[in-house]
Amino acid sequence: MFVYSKMQINFQSKTVLLSLLFIILPNIFFWLVGWYLNLSRPLINLDYILPIALFILPFRLSKIIGFIAFLLAFLFDITLFAMQLFPFMDLAAIRYFAPFLSNAPARYLVLVGIVLLYWVLMPIFIIKISHKVSLKWTYLWLILLGLVYSPLKEYTYREAPVERFSRGNYFLIKSQYQLYSEHYNSDFISQMRAIPKLSALDNKQKFASYYLNKKPYSNKILFIIAESWGVARQKEVQQFMLQKIYEQQENFEFINDGSFDASGSTVQAELRELCQLQVMNGYALSKTPNEKFSSCLGNIFKDKGYQTVAMHGASSQLYDRFSWYQKAGFQKILFAESMPANMKRCYAFNGVCDSEIRKLVANEFQLVKNQKIFLYWLTLTSHAPYEPDDLINSRLDCNRYELSKGDICNNMRLETQFFDDLAELIQQPEMKGVEVVVVGDHMPPIMGDVPLYKNLRWQEVSWLHFKVK
């Protein structure tokens, strides 16, 4: 009798645990992927409750509906993973990229293949084993999850960093569909879907591309918008950043630098510099008519017989650059997804590091030889939060100049690193005769209680202009 009771208890315990395992089974794949790629995700995704509840029922129709519900839950699950690697990778963006899969690197194709196989085979597997699981205990566990959701929904299992693009998604229990919906309907994303109002800059707004407005134009032009390059309050710091450039001034026809007032987002700076336009009330630039971009530098130089090239290490989806760069007159455009797969990635947007793109810039000038070229490069690695892991050059001694530790120090080190790389680039033989303009997009957005006034000028950007002999 005792042995029988013990066996019954063991069987009951096994049944209870198997039912729990059955419920959490769809989450295990994402636990492993999240751990391997250092991505965030709720421990339990509530979206799988409905398909699990339908799979366990002994009806063909319920299993069909459950299968569809599982596919939808998985779609939102994988999308929120992708958004952490490629910001703005929403469902619409996935649809946009689908036709380009055939040209993707082999490792990406393998990864996509694994995801698609799991997407289809996992619900089939769950349906196959559903009859081996206790209906009663499965539903009891599902009810328990529903009961604990409300008190636990805001609790996390890991301290979340500054939340951007779902990177702070370390909830114990949450709906990925709900999180996607909240992200998609946020004020910022709503602005991304709104058609902007574009108008000419007012007479007071300065822009660095002004220095290109001379005749005759140089046959080779490199125009760079440097991410988060503000103005150091200490003149010595500003000089130190550009030291490696100025050490070569004997090889320049001229060199000048300065600063001016500027504010706004990166894309606002792009339109300021490339098109002398200001943008308001939205960022859906793919919906903006072509004629709005007719006066952009890409179109101006293209009409003058120049090869026009644009480069950026992040996704083309950011600010609809896949669309409006073409409208602005760029004939050849390189984004992260079209760059070689073996190029090193940096923290900012999981984009290609500026030190790698430097090689692509040199290659473009080598390809044109005696032809005319206008190359635009939007840098990336110095984007907030100014990740110290991306620093391979710590030449700038922050303690020496009493620069605040954290964002300010890291930003200025990253900027110094970029200009040191630029100094190496312009020494290449293919860079002879190239006119270079570099300008910041906006001051670095510094988080936390930091005395900005000690180290940075408010809402100012720097510029540099020189020509290699």
Q: What are the structure tokens assigned to 413, written together?
A: 């080190």
Q: What is the predicted pLDDT for the residue at 133?
A: 87
Question: 3-class secondary structure for 207-265?
Answer: CHHHHHCCCCCCCEEEEEEECCCCCECCHHHHHHHCHHHHCCHHHEEEEEEEEEECCCC
Amino acid (one-letter) located at 170? Y
Confirm if 51 and 73 have CB atoms less than 8 A apart: yes
Beta strand segments in 136-230, E: 173-174, 197-200, 220-226
Q: What is the predicted pLDDT for the residue at 164?
A: 46
Q: What is the predicted pLDDT for the residue at 85?
A: 61
Question: 3-class secondary structure for 341-387?
Answer: CCCCECCHHHCECHHHHHHHHHHHHHHHCCCCEEEEEECCCCCCCCC
* pLDDT per residue rounded down to tens, the chain (469 residues): 444 454 444 546 777 788 888 889 999 989 988 887 777 889 999 999 999 999 999 999 999 999 999 999 998 888 888 777 655 555 655 655 555 455 555 666 777 788 889 898 999 999 998 888 888 888 888 888 888 888 888 888 887 554 444 556 888 999 888 887 776 665 555 555 677 788 899 888 899 988 887 777 899 999 999 999 999 999 999 999 999 999 999 999 999 999 999 988 899 999 999 999 998 877 778 889 999 999 999 999 999 999 999 999 998 888 889 999 999 999 999 999 899 988 999 988 888 999 999 999 999 999 998 899 999 999 999 998 888 889 998 899 999 999 999 889 999 999 999 999 999 999 999 999 999 999 999 999 886 667 788 999 999 999 999 999 9
Distances (CA, A) of 449 to 385, 406, 410, 446: 15, 11, 16, 9
Pick the CATH number of 197-468 from 3.90.1300.10, 3.40.50.2300, 3.20.20.150, 3.40.720.10: 3.40.720.10
Q: What are the structure tokens assigned to 294, written together?
A: 């007719």
Q: What is the predicted pLDDT for the residue at 353?
A: 96
Neighbours of 34 (CB within 10 A): 19
Nearest alpha-carbon partner for 441 in 210, 211, 227, 202: 227
Q: What are the structure tokens assigned to 153, written together?
A: 């929904």
Neighbours of 431 (CB within 10 A): 17
Q: What is the predicted pLDDT for the residue at 163?
A: 45
Q: What is the predicted pLDDT for the residue at 238?
A: 94
Confirm if 361 and 222 have CB atoms less than 8 A apart: yes
Q: What is the predicted pLDDT for the residue at 330?
A: 98
Q: What is the predicted pLDDT for the residue at 80?
A: 84
Amino acid (one-letter) located at 219? N
Distances (CA, A) of 281 to 89, 165, 249, 433, 441: 22, 21, 43, 41, 19
Question: What's the CA gap between 71 and 200, in Å, rounded?
Answer: 47
Q: Give the DSSP letter of residue 195.
A: P
Could you report the per-residue pLDDT of 145-158, keeping only the tens digit for each? Answer: 888 888 888 888 88
Q: pTM above 0.85?
A: no
Confirm if 371 and 218 have CB atoms less than 8 A apart: no
Backbone φ and ψ for 222, nearest 5 degrees, come out as -115, 115
Q: What is the predicted pLDDT for the residue at 87?
A: 52
Amino acid (one-letter) located at 191? Q
Domain range list for the chain: 2-185, 197-468
